[in-house]
């Protein structure tokens, strides 16, 4: 089984950066208290956005001024290889059940973190983060396990 850890949970009143919170109640529309500035963000198929801590650390080592939450991710995860992320994967995150829906497309709001960051985020699958829907409501806290429990191939092919 593929298994990682929730390192940080982040929300904002809209936009980036998102700031850490100690725990989250997660439901069909995402984390309670999290807001979005634009209609293309959020909703049932983009309830959560996840990013790899390892990749954020790599970006920082390349000179981008990023940190956990800066990229707009709700869940900063570690130990879960982003190159293996695909639509249709179902994960248990804390007590919630989530399904990866689609990779996140980088946007111009990330430009303050460094020239060329949007292009850099497109080099490999999963680097720019991944959206997820919430299949079962739950509570997520830093330190919780995030573990692959299933992969729905038919659902993944619809994207």
pLDDT of residue 69: 96
pLDDT of residue 41: 66
What's the sign of the alpha-carbon dihedral 19, 107, 111, 53? Answer: positive
Domain enclosing residue 107, as ranges: 3-156
The pTM (predicted TM-score) of the whole model is 0.89
CATH number of the domain within which 92 lies: 2.40.33.20
Q: What is the DSSP string of 90-106?
A: EEEETTEEEEEEEEPPP
**10-residue stretch averages of pLDDT, the chain, 159 residues long:** 92 92 96 79 89 95 95 95 94 98 82 81 83 97 96 52
CA atoms within 13 A on the CB side of 74: 31
Total count of domains within the chain: 1
Q: Are 31 and 74 in contact (CB under 8 A)?
A: yes
Spatial separation of the C-alpha atoms in residues 80 and 45, rounded to whole Å: 21
């Amino acid at each position: 089984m593929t298994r990682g850890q929730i390192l940080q949970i982040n929300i904002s009143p809209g936009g980036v950066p998102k700031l850490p919170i100690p725990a989250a109640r997660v439901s069909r529309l995402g984390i309670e208290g999290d807001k979005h500035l634009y209609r293309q963000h959020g909703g049932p198929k983009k309830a959560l956005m996840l990013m790899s801590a390892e990749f954020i650390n790599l970006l920082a080592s390349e000179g981008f001024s990023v940190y956990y939450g800066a990229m707009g991710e709700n869940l900063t995860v570690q130990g879960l290889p982003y190159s293996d992320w695909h639509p249709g994967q179902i994960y248990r995150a804390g007590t919630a059940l989530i399904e990866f829906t689609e990779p996140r497309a980088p946007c111009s709001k990330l430009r303050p973190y460094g020239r060329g960051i949007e292009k850099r985020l497109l080099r490999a699958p999963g680097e720019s983060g991944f959206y997820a829907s919430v299949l079962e409501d739950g509570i997520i806290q830093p330190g919780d396990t995030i573990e692959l429990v299933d992969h729905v191939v038919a659902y993944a092919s619809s994207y």
